[in-house]
Amino acid sequence: SQQGEEDPQALSIQEGENATMNCSYKTSINNLQWYRQNSGRGLVHLILIRSNEREKHSGRLRVTLDTSKKSSSLLITASRAADTASYFCATDPMNTGFQKLVFGTGTRLLVSP
């Protein structure tokens, strides 16, 4: 079953604009990871934020985590056409005894030139 829910389901913007995607989840977590997927291919790892962290940056990416609200956001600044892809959040739930990722349903991002 899907734990996470991304919002919006789809987002269409112009090059140079910022894109914000949100993720909500249901259970306590060890960490939350964001992935990108191009056209049904493999997932590319973008960033991992641990449960004791609130914000993390990597290049044009900024991720926030609010464990009290069980939510995270991914901000892509100065978007490019090459950022067009589906973006998934994945949580690593606590107390499973092993690491498994529980993915949301994804946000489809379209960046137009």
18 vs 96, beta carbon nearer another protein: 96
Burial profile 35-68: b = 16 or more Cβ within 10 angstroms, e = fewer? bbeeeeeebeebbebeeeeeebeeeeebbebeee
Nearest distance, CB of residue 9 and another protein, angstroms: 10
> In the complex, which residues of this chain contact another protein (CB under 8 A)?
1-2, 4, 30-31, 33, 35, 40-45, 48, 50, 88, 90, 92, 96-106
Nearest distance, CB of residue 50 and another protein, angstroms: 7
Residues 6+ apart with CB under 8 A from 90: 4, 32, 33, 34, 35, 101, 102, 103, 104
Nearest distance, CB of residue 30 and another protein, angstroms: 4
Based on C-alpha coordinates, what's the Rg of the chain? 13
30 vs 73, beta carbon nearer another protein: 30
39 vs 113, beta carbon nearer another protein: 39
Nearest distance, CB of residue 64 and another protein, angstroms: 19
Measured in degrees and rounded to the nearest 5, phi and psi for residue 76 equal -110, 115
44 vs 78, beta carbon nearer another protein: 44
